[in-house]
Amino acid sequence: MAEEWFDIYDEQLRPLGTATRADTHANGYWHRTFHCWLTRREGNRRFVRFQLRQAGKDTNPGCYDITAAGHLTAGETVREAVRELEEELGVKAEFEQLIPLGQIREQASGDVNGVPFIDREVSDVFGLVCSVPLTELRLQPEEVAGVYEADLDELIALFEGVVDEVTAFGVELVDETGRLAQAQQSVKVNQFVPREIAYYACVLRKLHSCT
């Protein structure tokens, strides 16, 4: 597989040029990513969807995560990054359908297979109203093991510490042909990709405004 290249930036987000994914994470260069949360309304209830990362991922395997997300490659714009929705979930959407929810900065460090990394990301966050049935999603086997959804208010209560777990319904890949099986899980905060809890709570509250 060809090495990924990213546009890289300094602390003030001034362009520094480009670097490979490996060098970007080895040297802690700032780079850009795309986040998109899918939501839908059913009567008076609002639901939000989140993905289950593949167990073979090098970072945060088997964790719940943003519905669709990814790095911007060198020269790519946020508008073009909407491709992540189709690549990961099989959902076609135009950039104009996305609802801006803000921009965040995140920093993390650790090691993967003994190799240290410093991950510094600037992420543009969006919401998308999507009523495509979970059973009709086309998941990217290399990235996504499943997609779940839960009541939005219940998920907010989870991340604000009001409840310890919520029930989520979803689908998981059965095999690499893309076949899906329905599933149900009790979901806890510590099963999501480690981020500032405020990120999840803030984004989820903003999803209430998506129509």
Q: Tokens 């990120």 belong to which residue?
A: 199
Per residue in 6-25, is it b (16+ CB within 10 Å) or e — as a string?
bbbbeeeeeeeebbeeeebb
d(CA 86, CA 97): 14
Give pLDDT, residue 58.
Answer: 79
Mean per-residue pLDDT for 15-24?
A: 96
Asked if residue 211 has pLDDT above 70, the reply is no
Higher pLDDT, 114 or 172: 172
Average pLDDT over residues 27-55: 96
Average pLDDT of 18-29?
A: 95
- Identify the DSSP state of 192: B
| CATH code matching the domain that covers 5-209, chosen among 3.30.200.20, 3.20.20.450, 3.60.20.10, 3.90.79.10 | 3.90.79.10
109-129 pLDDT, tens per residue? 888 777 888 999 999 999 999
Q: Which residues contact 120 (CB under 8 A, 6 or more apart)?
A: 28, 29, 30, 31, 105, 106, 107
Pick from 1, 198, 197, 196: which is nearest to 108 by CA? Answer: 196
pLDDT at 179 over 80: yes
Residue 4 DSSP one-character state = P
Q: What pLDDT is attached to residue 124?
A: 98
Alpha helices in the chain (DSSP H): 21-27, 83-89, 152-159, 197-206
Tell me how far CA of residue 88 lies from CA of 30, 146, 155, 181, 203, in angstroms.
24, 10, 22, 17, 20
- Is residue 177 over pLDDT 90? no
Per-chain mean pLDDT for the chain = 94
- Is the pLDDT reported for residue 35 higher than 90? yes
Whole-angstrom distance, CA of residue 132 vs CA of residue 106: 30
pLDDT tens sequence across 56-101: 887 889 999 999 999 999 999 999 999 999 999 999 999 999 999 9
Count of C-beta atoms within a 10 Å radius of residue 99: 17
- Ranges of each domain in the chain: 5-209
Structure-block tokens of residue 40: 């839908």
